Amino acid sequence: MSSLELKVPPVLQVLVIGAAMYGVSKTSPALKFALPGSGWLGGGLAIIGLGIGVMGVTEFKKAQTTVNPHTPEKSEHLVTSGIYQYSRNPMYVGLVFILFGWALYLSHLLAFALILIFIKYMSRFQIQAEEKVITKKFGDAYRAYLARVRRWL
């Protein structure tokens, strides 16, 4: 396992990327754009993201399994119902929606580019590491789920 796998909490990653998005929006004003209603649209996307994340947590709670992103080995049950029928990682999809909302609110091109860094980091150091652990734990049932449901959307 890489030294960064399962180490940085996803919410902390969102805060760091969000702060970087704010920083670039203030230091590179030439890349700002005007979009009427971007604040409202951004807020709406953030609320949708929060809802998606809450649905993911709710399904884990119903299944009485861990929501701790650092200890996937403590998962008691494979959750494939509810929102997990559409995405293997709805909590992370929710965080991406929140970042998209923030980028729209900031109305800055580089803010959107930073979302790609979050997605790449999450895919490599969080999701792939979780998938290794969960595959060992749940075997063929998880492999069938992997084949049926997309990682993000």
Cα separation, 97 vs 51, whole angstroms: 10
Q: Any idea how long the chain is? A: 153
For the chain, helix, strand, coil in percent to 5 are 70, 0, 25
Residue 123 lies in a domain: yes
Chain centre to alpha carbon of residue 10: 7
| Domain boundaries, position 57 | 37-148
Number of domains within the chain:
1
pLDDT attached to residue 3:
83
Residue 135 lies in a domain: yes
Residue 22 lies in a domain: no
Residue 21 lies in a domain: no
pLDDT attached to residue 1:
59
**Number of DSSP helices (H) and strands (E) in the chain, helices first:** 5, 0
Residue 70 lies in a domain: yes
Query: Where does the chain show beta strands of DSSP type E?
Result: none
Question: Can you list the residues of the chain whose pLDDT is less than 50?
Answer: none
6 close to 121: Cβ distance less than 8 angstroms: no
Residue 92 lies in a domain: yes
C-alpha neighbours within 13 Å on the C-beta side of residue 142: 17
Residue 94 lies in a domain: yes
Residue 6 lies in a domain: no
Cα–Cα distances in Å, from 143 out to 86, 88, 135, 139?
16, 12, 7, 6
pLDDT attached to residue 9:
96
Q: The pTM is what? A: 0.95
48 close to 104: Cβ distance less than 8 angstroms: no
